[in-house]
Amino acid sequence: MKILLFAFSLMGFIGLVEACEPNEIAFPKSKVCSKLTWITGPSINQFNSATVQLSETSLKLNVTPWMVMMGGHEHGSRPVIINEVSPSDYLIEKIYFMGGMQGSWFLKFQLINDKKEIVEEVRSLVSL
């Protein structure tokens, strides 16, 4: 029975992944897809900017540059500026990836509901 439940859960996740385009970021719990498009960057030690489109308009978006360092330590970077262009489109500015550290940079995306609660959080690796 547990195996059957796991199989159905996996099928639901795979269904969402298939519903999102290969270049989109999937929020499997919320069944939301997002598309990140770089305007400038991504580059180390300079401000970058990007647009993010969500497939869902009832949720808001929060974005944080996030580093996972060797040894497991994690930390964020400077705060970004998020401008809601329309209910599903966001302009993200002042994205800063600090150089000189051993680790990998990600963008941490959070979906926020109308009560300002985090509904779901995913990370997307940034190729620098």
Domains, the chain: 2-125 (2.60.40)
For β-strands 32-40 and 81-86, DSSP reports them as unpaired
pTM of the model: 0.83
Alpha-carbon distances of 16 from 47, 60, 110, rounded to whole Å: 32, 20, 18
Give me the tens of pLDDT residue by residue for the chain, a chain 128 residues long.
444 344 444 444 444 445 899 999 999 999 999 999 999 999 999 999 999 999 999 999 999 999 999 988 999 999 999 999 999 999 999 999 999 989 999 999 999 999 999 999 999 999 99
